[in-house]
Amino acid sequence: MHPRFIMLISFLFLLTSGAAAQALTNDEVFKYDESHPAAGYWIGTLTTGRGNELTLIVSAEKKDEWEVKVSALAGGLLDTPCSDIKEKGQEFSFTITGFPGTTPHFEGNISEDGQAFKGSVTDLKKEKPQPGSFLLRRTVKASDMANPLAFTGELNAQGITIPMTILLAKTPGGNWVGSLDIPMQNLHEFPFINISETEDGTITAELPVPGGADIEVKPDEMNKHLEGVFRQSGLVMKIDFTRDENYTYRNLVRLQTPQKPYPYREIPVTAPHPQGFSLGGTLTLPDPEKYGNGPYPAVVLISGSGQQDRDESILGHKPFLIIADYLTRHGIAVMRYDDRGVGDSEVKESKLVTEATTSDFATDTIAVINKLKTMKEIDSDHIGLIGHSEGGLIAPMVADRMGNNIDFIILLAGPGVKGDLLLVKQTELLLKAAGVSDESIKAQSEIRRKLFEAVEDDDKAIAKKYLKKLITKQLESTGRKVTDTEIQDALKTAEKQLLNPWMRYFLSYDPAPVLARVKCPVLALNGTRDLQVWHKQNLDAIERIRKQADLPVTVIRYEGLNHLFQPARTGTVSEYITIETTIDEQVLSDMTEWIRKQVSRKN
CA–CA distance, 122 with 106 (Å, rounded to integer): 7
CA–CA distance, 78 with 59 (Å, rounded to integer): 11
* pLDDT for 361 beyond 90: yes
pLDDT tens, residue by residue, 7-28: 333 332 233 333 333 344 467 9
CA–CA distance, 409 with 553 (Å, rounded to integer): 10
CA distances from 488 to 14, 447, 471 (A): 18, 18, 9
| Backbone angle region of 443, left / alpha / beta, with phi > 0 → left and psi within -120 to 50 → alpha | alpha
- What average pLDDT does this structure show over 427-450? 90
CA distances from 109 to 43, 59, 210 (A): 15, 15, 28
**Closest Cα partner for 598 from 523, 511, 503, 488?**
523
- What average pLDDT does this structure show over 537-563? 98
CA distances from 379 to 293, 298, 407, 434 (A): 11, 7, 11, 48
Q: 14 with 185: CB under 8 angstroms?
A: yes
pLDDT tens, residue by residue, 282-336: 999 999 999 999 999 999 999 999 889 999 988 788 999 999 999 999 999 999 9
100 backbone dihedrals φ, ψ, rounded to 5°: -55, 125
Which strand (E) or helix (H) includes residue 401? helix 391-402
Q: What pTM was estimated for this model as a whole?
A: 0.73
| Cβ-based neighbours of 115, under 8 Å, separated by 6 or more | 27, 29, 30, 137, 138
Across the chain, mean pLDDT equals 89
The length of the chain, given as a count of residues: 603
pLDDT computed for residue 15 by the predictor: 32
Domains of the chain, each with CATH number or no CATH: 40-139 (2.40.128.120), 142-243 (2.40.128), 267-418+510-602 (3.40.50.1820), 420-506 (no CATH)
Single-letter amino acid, residue 64? D
Q: 134 with 118: CB under 8 angstroms?
A: yes
Beta bridge partners of 152: 165, 242
Helix and strand totals (H; E) in the chain: 14, 26
> Is the bond preceding residue 295 a cis peptide, omega within 30 degrees?
yes
Would you report the helix, strand and coil content of the chain in percent, each value rounded to 5?
30, 30, 40
CA–CA distance, 111 with 88 (Å, rounded to integer): 13
CA distances from 562 to 10, 184, 312, 532, 533 (A): 18, 17, 16, 9, 9
Greater confidence (538 vs 484) lies with 538
* pLDDT for 585 beyond 70: yes
- What average pLDDT does this structure show over 184-190? 82
pLDDT tens, residue by residue, 88-135: 999 999 999 766 567 899 999 999 999 999 999 998 877 777 889 999
pLDDT tens, residue by residue, 198-240: 999 999 999 988 778 899 999 999 999 999 999 987 778 999 9
Greater confidence (163 vs 536) lies with 536
CA–CA distance, 281 with 344 (Å, rounded to integer): 7
Q: 444 with 11: CB under 8 angstroms?
A: no
pLDDT computed for residue 75 by the predictor: 75
